[in-house]
């Protein structure tokens, strides 16, 4: 049995299939862990959802910002981005089944045997990994509950951008969601910054620090695998973190890591997003 971790698919279904063929992935024996953002800019978001759902326990996926946005669109709480190619999902006969399944997926997954935490964007530098697990469960409990529409209604926005254990209600849940699904740079004290999408190499603002370089307890124990930040191009400066979003939708590549031997598999991708 092999354990594979793959970066953001974003509807690049054919590229995912090529990657799995390259690695000889066997769903009867192997397990595929996906860093979220199954849907959005690529041409086959519907096929991607169906495939991952169909893998059953052979797939572990978490929610990314595009996945949450998809749920909000379906609920009539957000508008479809013209750049996203997700309309076929809303036209599909199995839409309700697919989105019900998506809504049950977590914000954080922990591979206990290998002590790996998988998140979409990262872990707030103000949190321990145990706290991150707890906070992820708070959001997932609300998202999976009968009142999930209230969460989808109130999840948008950039405030609060600094964590306090005293945060309550939707302010608290919004920060948790933003840290797990939108974070790239932070200030040195862990304050979230949402506008800077550059790579660390091209970042000119010295007050903006990659979340994984901010001093804190967030990378002290389990190894963290994340996606979301395509501009990193697979490069992460922290020894206890690995990034896997290599910008497939932007015409770069789709990347997958086999954990047991650290083999890296990659396929070049056409430009899907403009």
Give the mean pLDDT of 125-145: 98
Among residues 50, 61, 36, 45, which one has the least CA distance to residue 13? 45
Query: What is the pTM for the complete model shown?
Result: 0.97
pLDDT tens digits, one per residue of 207-266: 999 999 999 999 999 999 999 999 999 999 999 999 999 999 999 999 999 999 999 999
Give the mean pLDDT of 50-75: 98
Number of domains observed in the structure of the chain: 1
Among residues 49, 40, 42, 37, which one has the least CA distance to residue 15? 42
User: pLDDT value at position 75?
Assistant: 97
- Model confidence at 271, pLDDT cuts 50, 70, 90, reads confident
Tell me whether residue 202 is in a domain: yes
Tell me whether residue 274 is in a domain: no
Q: What CA–CA distance (Å, rounded) separates 34 from 191?
A: 27
Range of the domain at 41: 3-268
Structure-block tokens of residue 150:
């209230």
Structure-block tokens of residue 50:
């169906």
Tell me whether residue 198 is in a domain: yes
Tell me whether residue 273 is in a domain: no
pLDDT tens digits, one per residue of 11-36: 999 999 999 999 999 999 999 999 99
Q: What CA–CA distance (Å, rounded) separates 206 from 220?
A: 24
Phi/psi of residue 181, nearest 5 degrees = -120, -15
Instruction: Locate the DSSP E strands across the chain.
Output: 3-6, 31-34, 59-61, 108-111, 116-119, 185-186, 192-193, 209-210, 223-226, 241-243, 253-258, 263-268
Q: Which residue has 């430009």 as its token pair?
A: 271
Give the mean pLDDT of 145-168: 97
Among residues 67, 17, 60, which one has the least CA distance to residue 40? 67
Tell me whether residue 57 is in a domain: yes
Give the mean pLDDT of 46-63: 98
Give the residue ranges of DSSP H helices in the chain: 13-22, 45-54, 65-74, 87-91, 95-103, 129-144, 148-154, 169-181
Tell me whether residue 92 is in a domain: yes
Name the average pLDDT for the chain: 97
- Model confidence at 115, pLDDT cuts 50, 70, 90, reads very high
CATH number at residue 15: 3.60.21.10
- Model confidence at 157, pLDDT cuts 50, 70, 90, reads very high
Tell me whether residue 33 is in a domain: yes
Tell me whether residue 123 is in a domain: yes
- Crossing angle (nearest 10°) for helices 95-103 and 45-54: 60
């Amino acid at each position: 049995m092999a354990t594979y971790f793959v970066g953001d698919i974003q509807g690049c279904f054919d590229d995912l299939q090529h990657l799995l063929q390259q690695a000889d992935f066997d769903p009867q024996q192997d397990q595929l862990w996906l860093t979220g953002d199954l849907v959005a800019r690529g041409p086959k978001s519907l096929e991607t959802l169906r495939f991952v759902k169909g893998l059953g326990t052979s797939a572990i996926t978490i929610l990314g910002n595009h996945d949450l946005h998809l749920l909000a669109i379906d609920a009539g709480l957000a508008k479809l981005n013209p750049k996203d190619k997700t309309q076929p999902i809303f036209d599909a006969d199995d839409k309700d089944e697919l989105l019900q399944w998506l809504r049950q997926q977590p914000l954080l997954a922990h591979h206990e045997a290998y002590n790996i935490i998988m998140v979409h964007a990262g872990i707030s530098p103000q949190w321990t990994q145990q706290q991150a697990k707890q906070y992820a469960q708070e959001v997932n409990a609300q998202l999976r509950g009968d009142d999930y529409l209230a969460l989808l209604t109130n999840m948008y926005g950039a405030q609060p951008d600094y964590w306090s254990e005293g945060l309550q209600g939707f302010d608290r849940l919004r920060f948790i969601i933003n840290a797990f699904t939108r974070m790239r740079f932070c200030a040195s004290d862990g304050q979230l910054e949402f506008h800077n999408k550059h790579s660390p190499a091209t970042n000119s603002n010295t007050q903006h620090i990659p979340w994984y370089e901010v001093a804190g307890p967030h990378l002290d124990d389990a190894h963290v695998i994340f996606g979301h930040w395509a501009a990193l191009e697979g490069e992460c400066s922290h020894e206890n973190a690995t990034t896997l979003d290599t910008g497939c939708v932007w015409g770069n590549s789709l990347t997958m890591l086999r954990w047991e031997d650290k083999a890296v598999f990659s396929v070049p991708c056409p430009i899907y997003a403009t």
